[in-house]
Amino acid sequence: MIPRIALDAMGGDYGPNVIVPAALKMLSEQDKLEIILVGNETVIKPMLSHHSANIIQRLSIRHAGQLVEMDELPSHALRKKKDSSMRVAINLVKQNEADACVSAGNTGALMATARYVLKTLPGIDRPAIISALPNMLGTTTHVLDLGANIDTSSKQLFQFAIMGSVLAQAVDNLENPSIGLLNIGQEEIKGNESVKEAAKLLSSIKEVNYIGFVEGDDIYKGSVDVVVCDGFVGNVALKTTEGVAKMIGYFVKQSFRKNLWTRMTGLIALPIIKSIYHQIDPRQYNGASLLGLRGIVIKSHGSADVLSFTSAIKEAMIEVQKNVPSQISHILETLLNEQRVD
C-alpha cells in the first residue's frame, strides 16, 4: 500500500515555506509515498519547479481559497472556512482521496473540523491528542490527552488507554505496551474519582497491560509505554516539559559563555552536547495524532521547521500502514461485545 498524505500547505507559522520543502524532502526519501498539497495553487505551484519527474508525478495540488488563522476561533473556522486548506485536506480523508491529513494549523480548529467531518469511531466519546516524548531508556513514552479534553470521565480515560495502547503497539512495534494512569502518587487511595474509577475499569480487563498509577517523572524514566491523563493535566505537563528543556539549554549556553576558559571547555564538550541534543531534539518527535477519529489526522507544531514537519509526515505514514483507526475500532468492538464496559 502506498500512503496518500494530504498536507495543509497553508497552515502553521510558516505555511508553504516549510511544508512544500518538507513534502519534497519526504518524496525524495520515500519511493512509496504520494502527497497532496492543499492550499493556494498560485503560491504553491512556483515552488515545485526544477524537481525530478519521479517526485513531481507523486505530488499533486488541491486548490483551497481560504486559510484558517492561528488565532481564529474554532467555531468560526468550522462555520465560515469551508474552503480552507485545513478543511479541504480533512475532506480528502473523508472522501477516501487521501489516507491521512497533516496540518500545522490552529489546534482547536483542526480538532473541531476533524471531529465534525470524520466523526468519532464507534465506542469513542471524544478524540484525544497523543504524542511521543523521549525517555531515559532511549525509547519514547506516549502521553495522552495533551489538551483536547479538559474534563474527562473514567470511561473516557479508559478509552484513551485503549487508543494509546494500540498506537504504541503500531508505532513502536510493542507486543504488549504498558499503560499507566497519571496521578499524584502511586498509592490506590490517591487521585480524583475519575482516575480511581478508570483504574478499576483498566484492572478488570486483560486486553491492555495496565500497571497502575504513575507519576510525572515516570514519563521520562521509561518505566511505562503509555501515560493516560485528562487534557488539562496533559497539556500542563507538556508545556512544563518544554519550558524546563528551554531553561536547561539556556543555562548550558550561559555557563559555557562566561569566560575564555569555559568557551574552550565548551568546544571540547561540543560533540557530547550535540549527541545529547540529538537524543532529545523535539523536531524528531513532532507529530501528535488525533486519536479516536474515523480517519488519521496528525497535528504538527505550528512553528515546525522542515525537519519537524517531515517527522509529522512519517508519523502519518506509519499510522496509515498499520491502519491504526481500524485496530482501535476492532479492540473496542470486542470489549463492548463482551460487555466489559458500561
Q: What is the pLDDT of residue 338?
A: 62
For position 339, what pLDDT does the model report?
46
Grid cell locating 4: 496518500
Number of domains in the chain: 2
Same domain, 176 and 267: yes
Least confident residue range of 116-120, 167-171, 278-282, 337-341: 337-341
166 and 70 share one domain: no
pLDDT at 120 over 80: yes
The least confident of 18-32, 44-58, 96-110, 225-239 is 44-58
Is 20's pLDDT higher than 70? Answer: yes
228 and 159 in a single domain? The answer is yes
Q: What is the pLDDT of residue 267?
A: 84
Q: Which of 24-33, 204-213, 227-236, 286-295 has the lowest mean pLDDT?
A: 204-213
Q: Is the pLDDT of residue 276 over 80?
A: no
58 and 196 assigned to the same domain = no
Residue 227 included in any domain = yes
CB 285 within 8 A of CB 133: yes
Flag the least confident range among 27-36, 77-86, 159-168, 328-337: 328-337
pLDDT tens for residues 68-118?
A: 999 999 999 999 999 999 999 999 999 999 999 999 999 999 999 999 999
Q: Kindly tell me if the per-residue pLDDT of 341 is higher than 60.
A: no
User: Do residue 256 and residue 134 come from a single domain?
Assistant: yes
* Local confidence band at 258 (pLDDT 50, 70, 90 cut-offs): confident
C-beta atoms surrounding 216 within 10 Å: 16
Q: Tell me the pLDDT of the chain averaged across its residues.
A: 89
Q: Going edge to edge, which strands form the sheet with 140-144? A: 59-63, 34-39, 4-8, 100-103, 296-299, 288-291, 128-134, 140-144, 226-228, 178-182, 209-214
Same domain, 78 and 223: no
Q: Would 328 be classed as within a structural domain? A: no
Range of the domain at 234: 125-290
Q: Does residue 4 share a domain with residue 19?
A: yes
Q: Mean pLDDT across the stretch 183-195?
A: 86
Long-range pairs of 190-196 with CB within 8 A, sequence gap ≥ 24: 193/154, 194/152, 194/153, 194/154, 194/157, 194/230, 195/154, 195/157, 196/154
297 closest CA partner among 326, 320, 331, 330: 320
* Structural domain contains residue 44: yes
Q: For residue 336, is pLDDT > 70? A: no
Strand 128-134 versus strand 140-144 pairing type: antiparallel
Is residue 176 domain-resident? yes
Are 139 and 259 within one domain? yes
pTM: 0.89
pLDDT at 214 over 90: yes
24 and 163 belong to one structural domain: no
Give all strands (DSSP E) within the chain, no chain letters.
Answer: 4-8, 34-39, 59-63, 100-103, 128-134, 140-144, 178-182, 209-214, 226-228, 288-291, 296-299
- 341 in a domain, yes or no? no
Looking at the structure, tell me whether residues 139 and 46 fall in a common domain: no
Residues 216 and 305 in one domain: no
The CATH number of residue 1's host domain is 3.40.718.10
Looking at the fold, whether 117 and 129 belong to one and the same domain comes out as: no
Does residue 338 form part of some domain? no
The rounded radius of gyration (Å) of the Cα atoms in the chain is 21
